[in-house]
Amino acid sequence: MAVIHHTVLKPTKLELLTSWLPSRPWYRGGAGGPELAKAGGFRLDDPEGEVGIEFLVTTDTSGPDPVSYLVPLTYRGAPLDGAEHALVGTMEHGVLGRRWAYDACHDPVAVARSAALLAGRAQAQDQNVSDAVDREVVVSRTGEGPASAATDFAAFTTADTEESTRLTTPRGATLHLHRVLRPAPDGPSPAPHGAIGHVTGTWRTPDGSRVRGMFAALYPA
């Protein structure tokens, strides 16, 4: 169970992302740099209790239209070997001390837990409250496919597109993490074509409305 510490971070997560987001191929913000606000998200537990895993939704209002991004992050008490390219930055945590924040799409602990979520072996946790399931995160599966495909993610390669980050196993199963979020029409979210599992969640828009959209989808080999 992840323990949520309500404390001070220097710099804050949004301050780190303000510098990091413009370097991403899926960033859609204005030329002057992002203007970010927290819009939602959830957490996953690390069974070993070592790595913080957060799926942060942040909305950028720097461009002509607001854009909401899904930014999975991991927080570690020491650098992750071989992941220098995925480092978002370091922070001083008021309780835990120095923390290294990584793009979670390159962190094997976060990827394994994401696959476990899709396979039904993990539950989304509240972003702000310890030991509380987030009922707003909905996982849909088709048959037994997600369970078998999710076992492949002990090894994976990562590639960014203009819309998503794709994590592909040596056998060809692929997890698409939607980076640029779009509200779905009212009613149940249909499964993406060809997907054997998908995750939807909610976030707040700048006008205070709450919307739901696709966070991730799993495709078989």
d(CA 146, CA 120): 8
Count the neighbouring beta carbons within 10 Å of the beta carbon of residue 103.
21
Domain boundaries, the chain: 9-219
Note the pLDDT of residue 29.
83
Q: What is the pTM of this model?
A: 0.93
Per-residue model confidence as pLDDT tens digits over 134-146 = 999 999 988 777 7
Note the pLDDT of residue 147.
73
d(CA 87, CA 106): 9
Per-residue model confidence as pLDDT tens digits over 170-209 = 999 999 999 999 998 876 667 788 999 999 999 999 999 9
34, amino acid identity: P
Per-residue model confidence as pLDDT tens digits over 33-92 = 899 999 999 999 999 989 999 999 999 999 889 999 999 999 999 999 999 999 999 999
Note the pLDDT of residue 5.
57
Average pLDDT, stretch 15-23? 95
